[in-house]
Copies of this chain bind each other. A is one copy, B any other.
Amino acid sequence: MITGKNYVGYNLMGTGTTKFRTFSPLLNKFNSWDFIEATDSEVNLAVDKAWDAFKQYRKRTPAERAMFLELIATEIELLGDKLIEVYMLESGLPESRAIAERTRTLLQLRSFAAYLEENDSMFFIHPKSTELLSKKLIPLGPVVVFGASNFPLAYSTAGGDTVSALAAGCPVIVKSHPMHAGTGELVAAAVIKAALSAGMPDGVFSNLNCGDHRVGIQLVQHNSIKAVGFTGSLKGGRALFDIANRRPEPIPVFAEMGSTNPIVISEKTLNKKSAYWAEKIVESMIQSAGQFCTSPGLILAVDSADLTAFSEFLTEKLENKNNELMLGQVIKDSFSEQKAMMLAQKTTSVLSDKFTNNTLDSEPTILMTSGESFINNKLLHEEVFGSFLIIVKCKNQLELEKIVENLDGQLTGTLLVDELEMENYSRLIESFQYRVGRLIFNGVPTGVEVSQQMNHGGPYPASTDSRFTAVGTDSIFRWLRPVCYQNWIGELFL
């Protein structure tokens, strides 16, 4: 069932000679399938097909696109246990997570389908109030989507970027993530089946394999690619952003990147609900070995005996949990390196470090530092992707507010606060919202609801363009642009 080849539109191709394999964290060995990297000419062929497909696909009605998305969901369901099995083999994530992520992926497909069906007039904006002018949204053109290491389903092959681009009327070329190329191929096969039965043009979807950056760079530089969707590291997202902006014709790159997802904890919360929130935060930080872009990495609070007690609760709760496995060696190495950098900072002290000798172990870690050290050391602001948390003890509310005001851009910011304290926190809240894409009250940052109200993005470096969301139906606007029609003769028929 897994061929290791590339879907260049409807054609399964593997003329290349460079191969790679995916790795099973649980079995601690390489999986058996050989994936064949797409050749330069296969990449160009996929783009040419996408460009030709664009001229057809953009004319399909919202209802036709909705049906296509629904068929994709059905085909993914039909993959059944095989998909879950391969997902687990390639990620080491537990079955419950695999099933939950599949559910989410299906939900995304179906919610976009419903959105298109219910809003088939959404592409016509500002129904004409003058005789002369009307405005419509049209798709940008072929979109390249980069599969995310940490979401083999929901942010990869038929994940959020792909679905929103297809909904917009843009053909999609997926650069499959090499850590879960098998999962990717299974899903790609489902998309291809759906495209065929929906009568979509050849090239509306392609799925290309590559173990390094070559294929991705070639795609982003190609003149017929008109936008890019990416979920991953700051380094990767910024590199693609730079490549896209240096093109003769620059194109939009929506990269959803790093975040430390700060949690501010109020005095009353520390006093009254310390144990409760310690448990919640530990659960949030260790979930999927902390490999979520919304995993909490920073706690900010004013120093007090309650904060000390809370820190002890955190440590205690964490010690009671089992470590998980990280997704792969590259990610673990990056975690270890970043963690070592943090530990090397003289002003940090270790509260908990569940170091083991297991290669892929998540090794959750909690450090503590002072507000002053945090302000003076920008290294402490960096994201450590994984289960890693720094508690910042601020000397007073003013210092806490200063830190919040000067945070890097974040996907999320969380405030654990009592209703009675809201007045005291109004200044902090006001400035907090300007540093984040989502402001959460009395919750944890992990768990991103798929809905129109969601915003998943934020000021740089959380994303490359804070004006758009990566999750929820509004994410379609990344791939659409307005056209104004002046003095149109008769009915708009396009």
Determine whether A16 belongs to the interface, using a CB cutoff of 8 Å to chain B. Answer: no
| Residues 466 to 489 of chain A near chain B (Cβ within 8 Å) | 466-467, 469, 474, 477-478, 480-489
5 further A-B contacts with Cβ under 8 Å, apart from A141-B434, A437-B483, are A135-B455, A249-B460, A439-B485, A439-B486, A467-B477
Interface pair B481/A449, CB less than 8 Å apart: no
Across-interface contacts of A451 in B (CB, < 8 A): 129-130, 133
Counting every copy of the chain, the complex holds 2
Interface pair A441/B130, CB less than 8 Å apart: no
Q: Bin the interface of chain A by size.
A: 35 or more
Given contacts A439-B486, A487-B440, contact A454 B241 (CB under 8 A): no
Determine whether A94 belongs to the interface, using a CB cutoff of 8 Å to chain B. Answer: no
Determine whether A242 belongs to the interface, using a CB cutoff of 8 Å to chain B. Answer: yes
Interface pair B439/A484, CB less than 8 Å apart: yes
Q: In the complex, which residue of chain B has the Cβ closest to the Cβ of A141?
A: B434
Interface pair B449/A133, CB less than 8 Å apart: yes
Across-interface contacts of A128 in B (CB, < 8 A): 453
Interface pair B489/A467, CB less than 8 Å apart: no
A279 to B439 alpha-carbon distance, docked (Å)? 58
Given contacts A437-B484, A486-B439, A486-B443, contact A461 B249 (CB under 8 A): yes
Across-interface contacts of A485 in B (CB, < 8 A): 433, 438-439, 441
* Cβ-closest 4 pairs across A and B: A133-B453, A455-B484, A438-B484, A466-B481
- A93 to B: closest C-beta gap in Å: 25
Interface pair B443/A487, CB less than 8 Å apart: yes
Interface pair A486/B250, CB less than 8 Å apart: no
Q: Which residues of A contact B (CB under 8 A)?
A: 55, 58-59, 126, 128-130, 132-135, 138, 140-141, 241-242, 245, 249-250, 252, 409, 417, 419, 422, 426, 429-431, 433-434, 436-443, 449, 451-455, 457, 459-461, 464-467, 469, 474, 477-478, 480-490, 493-494
Across-interface contacts of A409 in B (CB, < 8 A): 249
- A232 to B: closest C-beta gap in Å: 17
Residue of B245, B464, B483 near A242 (CB, 8 A) is B245
A69 to B490 alpha-carbon distance, docked (Å)? 38
A294 to B493 alpha-carbon distance, docked (Å)? 25
Interface pair A484/B454, CB less than 8 Å apart: yes
